């Protein structure tokens, strides 16, 4: 990836998109670019945060290990997403671990440079707050989704977000393995398999790493359907 392309992706990220150009340039002049192989650790829970990460290519997962040893996926990020801002600004330990789930390229922006700019130009803090709020909004959305949708509906919604069009037929590539997809959606792997089976009547056909969607609008309707309707018909 060319340096110019990397800079453009970073500038379009939620964290930097609304910053004055001179501020963005000052931040990126000290930034470094690192490549991580699939399965490689980006950072571990408990390590001190000193940089802000922007994904330039590939996928990264944030996760925690529960006391019983099971892994809880907190979030998954791809191109143009940033993460680690809040703890980096406070120079605190990471509350989660990060791992490359595909080969990926990350830009790392030193937090100290960002903090010094915030002290000089407080209005820049508005963009930072917007980014932090978006992360919180996404997490709230995930919790709401888990509570309000069936497993099959969550999978349907996940597939819809991978589509490159709003209607018609589409073939999407699952961006990472099915175990991680299940964790991301708050499901067990066997539940994910059952969810894919339930989506067949809606026109979803999964083969290895690809999913063929016969009718995106029909799948969207299924994802938005109130699960209580099925109970009402059964009474």
Calculate helix-pair angle for 111-120, 21-28, nearest 10 degrees.
150
* Mean pLDDT in residue range 201-220: 94
CATH of region 3-139, choose from 2.60.40.10, 1.10.3720.10, 1.10.1740.10, 2.60.120.10: 2.60.120.10
Nearest to 160 by CA among 192, 203, 207, 118: 203
Please give the pLDDT value at position 163. Answer: 92
Burial 175-200 (b: 16+ CB within 10 A, else e): bbeeebbbbbbbbeeebbeebbebbe
- Higher per-residue confidence, 30 vs 204: 204
Distance of CA 22 to the CA centre of its chain: 28
pLDDT tier at 136, thresholds 50, 70, 90:
confident
What is the structure's pLDDT at 145? 65
Residue 39 Ramachandran class (φ > 0 left, ψ -120 to 50 alpha, else beta): left
CATH topology of domain 149-234: Arc Repressor Mutant, subunit A (1.10.10)
- Band of residue 92 on the pLDDT scale cut at 50, 70, 90: very high
- Coil, strand or helix: which one is 92? coil
Where in the sequence of the chain do the CATH 2.60.120.10 domains occur? Answer: 3-139
Where do you find CATH 1.10.10.10 in the chain?
149-234
Query: Is 69's pLDDT higher than 90?
Result: no
Residue of 133, 141, 131 whose CA lies nearest to 52: 131
């Amino acid at each position: 990836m060319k340096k110019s392309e990397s800079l453009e992706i970073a500038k379009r990220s939620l964290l930097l998109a609304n910053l004055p150009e001179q501020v963005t340039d000052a931040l990126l002049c000290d930034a470094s670019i690192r490549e991580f192989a699939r399965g490689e650790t980006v950072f571990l829970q408990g390590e001190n945060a000193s940089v802000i990460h922007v994904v330039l290519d590939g996928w990264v997962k944030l996760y925690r290990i529960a006391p019983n040893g099971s892994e809880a996926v907190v979030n998954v990020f791809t191109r143009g997403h940033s993460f680690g801002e809040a703890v980096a600004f406070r120079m605190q330990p990471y509350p989660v671990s990060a791992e490359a789930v595909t080969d990926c390229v990350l830009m790392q922006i030193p937090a100290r440079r960002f903090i010094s700019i915030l002290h000089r130009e407080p209005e820049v803090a508005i963009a930072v707050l917007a980014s932090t709020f978006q992360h919180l909004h996404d997490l709230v959305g995930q919790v709401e989704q888990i509570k309000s949708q069936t497993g099959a509906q969550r999978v349907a919604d996940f597939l819809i977000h991978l589509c490159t069009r709003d209607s018609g037929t589409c073939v999407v590539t699952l961006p990472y393995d099915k175990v991680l997809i299940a964790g991301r959606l708050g499901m067990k792997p066997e539940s994910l398999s059952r969810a894919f089976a339930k989506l067949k009547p809606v026109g979803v056909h999964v083969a290895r790493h690809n999913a063929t969607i016969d009718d995106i609008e029909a799948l969207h309707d299924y994802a938005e359907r109130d699960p209580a309707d099925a109970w009402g018909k059964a009474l």
